[in-house]
Amino acid sequence: MASLQHSQAIKGAKVLMVGAGGIGCELLKTLALSGFQDIHIIDMDTIEVSNLNRQFLFRQSHVGQSKAKVARDAVLRFRPHISITPYHANAKDSNFNVDFFKQFNVVLNGLDNLDARRHVNRLCLAAEVPLVESGTTGFLGQVTVQVKGKTECYECQPKPAPKTYPVCTITSTPSKFVHCIVWAKELLFAKLFGDKNQVNDLNVRSNDAFSSSENTNDVFEWRDDEDFEHYGRRIYDHVFGYNIELALSDEETWKKRNKPRPIYVRDVLPDQMTQQNGNVDITDDLSSASAMASLGLKNPQDIWCLMENTRVFLEALKLFFTNRKKEIGNLSFDKDDQLAVEFVTAAANIRAASFNIPSHSLFEAKGIAGNIVHAVATTNAIVAGLIVIEAIKVLKKDNDCYREKLMRMTYCLEHPSKKMLLMPVEPFEPNKSCFVCSSQTPLSLEINTHRSKLRDFVEKIVKAKLGMNSPLIMCGSALLYEVGDDLEEDMIANYTANLEKVLSELPSPVIGGKMLTVEDLQQEFTCNIYIKHREEFDEEKEPDGMVLSGWTQALPEKKDDKTSIGNGASTSKSLPTEPMDAQKDIEVKEISDGTASPGKKRKLPEFSEGCTLDQSNEADETRNDKKIQKLDDDDDDDDLVMLDHWGKDTSKKQRLQ
């Protein structure tokens, strides 16, 4: 029963929840039932059909409405007198700044991606508000408390890099369906609908191939006034026909492999059908947003034949160009974008047919492309309960939970292990070399200062690696780049010009030996980067053409994968192995992360006393691995599963091979 102290802490607390998805809905209910009275929720999403059977607060009639608002309304029905404030917005929006965060006593994350988690972590550090971080993936879950200066922050420990694949496997020799999916979404989709300036391995191929066949710069360019049917067929024939023929000419490659077969539209669709593919007159919303709807294909679990895949491919491409033209050039694959999923499914299946790989349904392809492992409601409910327990501990002011070491990081296991379904351990102390919470730590960057542009540095390092949204970059006292709503036009022009300059030719040259200061004003986060000029980089191992050191992302998990194309970003902490010795210390190992801190030990909590503790770490590790692999799909030797409850597309387990 709650003590007076408990209920005072709960009643007086102002709580911010970020994310109203699987964990968030459970959390809101548990907070309300535990007596919390002032809850704010940020979620940027609207409810989709796919949320309905997993998020118990949502009903069919809510589809299309804000998750945060619907969750609020549902909970107010049984707790009408409490205050719940919903924000249908991205937590990264500039109005959610440090001052906004400062008004809360505790922040609770129910997020599903690394970017947002890093952002909230930084705001909580800057605002000095405790953060309870969480994640679930299938039956597995984890809850951690993060308090500035007392415990590690979200970025103190390395996160495993996303699973990636050798470029040549993706571009030339796919052997599994996931290779075709990665090709379809990371290369073809990105090439057709994404940023044209991005380096893309299809570039090389298309240009090489095309320069020998036609004299145009880029086969992927839509030519003015070209009919979209014609454009679609041209792309199809190029990537599934011509490029495969070109690949076949390299006989060495196919000596020990099955040869792929080139596929041209004319071999699959009779002419007349190509002309009449889809609804000629697109009027209703559904058929303009979905190639399947337009073609009358209803069941996402059906496996389409080659002709159907071809029709979906052409129709989806046409729909993008007719209905979503404005987005073209800025799109990146999103598992919740129906048309994108249809396009990627069809493209992956056609490529699979070429390489004699079995086809998959849209439902399966979406799961693979989006790294989806369906959430288990019970795990979310358990994790939500644990979040509330930790929140109450940090809120109890008189009872110094830091001094008394009451905080716990708790793992929720799939099978009771040593009679424990939940494994609580003491949180780590802050990592003194964390570049986020220990601001003194400078980073260093090896880069070719004569070749790399400021744009490369901003995209690949500042945004992708350092997770900054609104960066400001300085070299000494010279301002090189800045983002903001209130910039004068000439400043914008100046910064835009700087982006296209190589580092050594900037107004204040960035050369070896210089120190750059990079700051995100919203996150109130600054770091210094020491520049080292380096002439050459290994294209396979260092595809960015620059190497940042001193930060905490782990290496890709497999040594022999000389890889650089991934199936979506994701990172994770993963489950620990089990208690290690009778001293009640356990070692937490990262299953998929070679750079975890193996020496660190965490104390088991008091209530585990009496458990028989296993001496053998190895046996348990094997068991954990087995358990995880059991969840994996079909195949084979080089499969590797990564737990992804901290990364993008989370509340999911990665199903990567």
Ligand X SMILES: Nc1ncnc2c1ncn2[C@@H]1O[C@H](COP(=O)(O)OP(=O)(O)OP(=O)(O)O)[C@@H](O)[C@H]1O
Active site residues: 168
Q: Interaction with ligand X in 113-132: which residues (CB under 6 A)?
A: 113, 116
Q: Which two tokens stand for residue 576?
A: 């620990």
Of 422, 423, 425, 428, nearest to 597 by C-alpha is 428
Distance CA 213, CA 210 (A): 5
Written in H, E and C, the secondary structure of 443-477 is: EEEEECCCCCEHHHHHHHHHHCCCCCCCEEEEECC
Question: Is 112 annotated in some ligand binding site?
Answer: yes
Q: Which of 9, 344, 434, 548 binds Zn ion (CB under 5 A)?
A: 434
Provide the mask over 368-407, with x wherever binding to Zn ion is found by CB under 5 A and - wherever it is not: ----------------------------------------
Q: Would you give the DSSP letter of residue 46?
A: B
Closer to Zn ion by Cβ: residue 117 or 514: 117
**Among positive and negative, which fits the CA dihedral 210, 216, 217, 223?**
negative
Question: Is 23 annotated in some ligand binding site?
Answer: yes
462 binds Zn ion (CB under 5 A): no
Transcribe 635-650 into DSSP letters.
--TT----B-TTSTT-
Residue 133 contact, options Zn ion, ligand X, none, Cβ 5-8 Å cut-off depending on partner type: none
Closer to ligand X by Cβ: residue 87 or 183: 87
Closer to ligand X by Cβ: residue 134 or 309: 134
Q: Which two tokens stand for residue 607?
A: 């209530």
Q: Which two tokens stand for residue 284?
A: 């209703």
- Looking at beta carbons, which residue is closest to ligand X? 21
Question: Is 53 annotated in some ligand binding site?
Answer: yes
Closer to ligand X by Cβ: residue 67 or 533: 67
Instruction: Look at strands 131-137 and 106-109 and give their pairing.
Output: parallel
Residue 422 contact, options Zn ion, ligand X, none, Cβ 5-8 Å cut-off depending on partner type: none
Distance CA 454, CA 501 (A): 6
Q: Which of 26, 38, 112, 446 binds ligand X (CB under 6 A)?
A: 112
**Among positive and negative, which fits the CA dihedral 498, 501, 503, 507?**
negative
Contacts for 232 with CB less than 8 Å, ≥ 6 apart: 313, 314, 317, 318
Question: Is 24 annotated in some ligand binding site?
Answer: yes
Rounded alpha-carbon distances, angstroms, from residue 33 to 106, 425, 608: 17, 26, 28
> What is the residue type of 206?
S
User: How many residues of this chain bind Zn ion (CB under 5 A)?
Assistant: 6
Q: Which of 75, 289, 375, 437 binds Zn ion (CB under 5 A)?
A: 437
92 binds ligand X (CB under 6 A): yes
In whole angstroms, the minimum distance from the beta carbon of 27 to ligand X comes to 11
In whole angstroms, the minimum distance from the beta carbon of 509 to ligand X comes to 36
Of 388, 374, 436, nearest to 149 by C-alpha is 436
Contact of 510 with 516, CB cutoff 8 Å: yes
Q: Which of 375, 395, 409, 434 binds ligand X (CB under 6 A)?
A: 375
Q: Which of 29, 40, 67, 191 binds ligand X (CB under 6 A)?
A: 67
**Cα–Cα–Cα angle for 326, 114, 189, rounded to 5 degrees:** 35
Closer to Zn ion by Cβ: residue 268 or 436: 436
Binding span for ligand X by CB under 6 A among 107-115, 338-346, 421-429, 552-560: 107-115
Closer to Zn ion by Cβ: residue 146 or 206: 146
Residue 147 contact, options ligand X, Zn ion, none, Cβ 5-8 Å cut-off depending on partner type: none
Residue 116 contact, options ligand X, Zn ion, none, Cβ 5-8 Å cut-off depending on partner type: ligand X
Backbone angles phi, psi at 7, to 5 degrees: -70, -30
Residue 651 contact, options Zn ion, ligand X, none, Cβ 5-8 Å cut-off depending on partner type: ligand X
User: How many residues of this chain bind ligand X (CB under 6 A)?
Assistant: 23
Q: Interaction with ligand X in 5-24: which residues (CB under 6 A)?
A: 19-22, 24
Closer to ligand X by Cβ: residue 67 or 238: 67
50 binds ligand X (CB under 6 A): yes
Rounded alpha-carbon distances, angstroms, from residue 333 to 12, 182, 214, 487: 43, 11, 30, 31
In whole angstroms, the minimum distance from the beta carbon of 97 to ligand X comes to 14
Closer to ligand X by Cβ: residue 111 or 386: 111
First to last CA, the chain: 48
Of 398, 572, 412, 438, nearest to 151 by C-alpha is 438
Question: Is 566 annotated in some ligand binding site?
Answer: no
Contact of 393 with 34, CB cutoff 8 Å: no
Rounded alpha-carbon distances, angstroms, from residue 364 to 55, 367, 594: 21, 5, 30
Residue 648 contact, options ligand X, Zn ion, none, Cβ 5-8 Å cut-off depending on partner type: none
To which residue do tokens 């780590």 refer?
428
Binding span for ligand X by CB under 6 A among 89-97, 172-180, 323-331, 420-428: 89-97
Closer to Zn ion by Cβ: residue 107 or 182: 107
Instruction: Write 305-310 long-range contacts (CB < 8 A, 24+).
Output: 305/359, 306/263, 306/268, 306/349, 306/350, 306/353, 307/268, 307/269, 309/345, 309/346, 309/349, 309/350, 309/353, 309/359, 310/236, 310/265, 310/268, 310/269, 310/346, 310/350
Binding span for Zn ion by CB under 5 A among 70-78, 150-158, 237-245, 336-344: 150-158
Residue 437 contact, options Zn ion, ligand X, none, Cβ 5-8 Å cut-off depending on partner type: Zn ion
In whole angstroms, the minimum distance from the beta carbon of 419 to Zn ion comes to 33
In whole angstroms, the minimum distance from the beta carbon of 649 to ligand X comes to 7
Rounded alpha-carbon distances, angstroms, from residue 262 to 21, 195, 246, 314, 489: 43, 28, 9, 17, 51
Question: Is 114 annotated in some ligand binding site?
Answer: yes
Contact of 145 with 427, CB cutoff 8 Å: yes
Q: Which of 153, 239, 468, 628 binds Zn ion (CB under 5 A)?
A: 153
Q: Which two tokens stand for residue 363?
A: 């439902």
390 binds ligand X (CB under 6 A): no
- Looking at beta carbons, which residue is closest to Zn ion? 434
Of 246, 350, 250, 244, nearest to 305 by C-alpha is 350
In whole angstroms, the minimum distance from the beta carbon of 332 to ligand X comes to 15
436 binds Zn ion (CB under 5 A): yes
Helix axes 22-34, 67-76, angle to 10 degrees: 30
In whole angstroms, the minimum distance from the beta carbon of 466 to ligand X comes to 17
Binding residues for ATP: 19-24, 43, 51-54, 67, 112-117
Contact positions vs Zn ion (CB under 5 A)? 153, 155-156, 434, 436-437
Binding residues for Zn(2+): 153, 156, 434, 437
Contact positions vs ligand X (CB under 6 A)? 19-22, 24, 42-45, 50-51, 54, 67, 90-92, 111-113, 116, 375, 650-651
Binding residues: 19-24, 43, 51-54, 67, 112-117, 153, 156, 434, 437
